[in-house]
Amino acid sequence: MLIIPAIDIKGGKCVRLRRGQMSTAKVFSDSPLEIVKSWVSQGAQLIHVIDLDGAKNGLPINDNIIKKIVRSFNEIDFQVGGGIRNIQSAASYLEAGVSKIILGTQAIKEPSLIKKLCSLYPGRIVLAVDFYKGKIKKSGWAEGTNLTPEEVIRLFSSLPLASIVITDISRDGMMNGPNILVTLELASLSSIPVIVSGGIANLDHIKKIISANSENRISGVICGRSLYEKSFSLEEAIKVTKF
């Protein structure tokens, strides 16, 4: 199981939010590139990068910064999301060396797009299933829908997706523990690997996910604020997965 550090970029800076609310943004670094360098030095294999401005505005905003990061660290993989709303923006990232792109909002608004992208780039598209109180949210988590996460996963379960990132927004950035039970229930709906996101605060939370992952449905855990606030190091988290 991979430990996946998260980098959220807003205004060119590395920030973390609470429950996706832009007003809660806390700047942890003026240089996302330096943060990536730190993660790589500690053994990261995959880094989760979100263009927060892009997610809010519906088009890539910090893409030049992200592409520079990817070019600088071609020895590891990056999965990138935020503002990818058409084939052109998707192709721009993938052809620049990004390993995988993440679609959430546009998968809901335009299911045909994610199907088309999966046919063009099989195994390189990640589906973001972001929900709050049982309902999917979109557009940088600013807009609600009547869809349930179960409905979304079933809709795309036959596609050659790389993975599904499942985020309980109520836990994101709050460091009060991941929603393991619901995540496993959602993971059981598909054979696609699932990545857990939201709420990781300590190594015990990671250990609980590993213990509950008896059927190996969970392929990775995204860690954000817990790493930035030094609740544990990336190296320590990776070691936990080795036992």
Question: Considering only CA atoms, which of 2, 7, 51 is closest in space to residue 32?
Answer: 7
Q: What's the half-sphere exposure (Cβ side, CA atoms, 13 Å) at 174? A: 15
Task: Read off the amino acid at residue 18.
Answer: R
Residue 105's CB is within 10 A of a number of other CB atoms, namely: 25
Catalytic residue among 8, 53, 77, 172: 8
130 is catalytic: yes
Q: What whole-number distance in Å separates Cα of residue 130 and Cα of residue 137?
A: 6
Residue 165: closest CA among 237, 82, 94? 82
Query: Which of 101, 109, 55, 56 lies closest to 82 in space, CA to CA?
Result: 55
Tell me the three state secondary structure of residue 123: coil
**Catalytic annotation present for 172:** no
User: Per the residue annotation, which of 51, 130, 168, 172 is the catalytic one?
Assistant: 130
46 vs 43: CA distance, rounded Å = 9
Task: Catalogue the active-site residues.
Answer: 8, 130
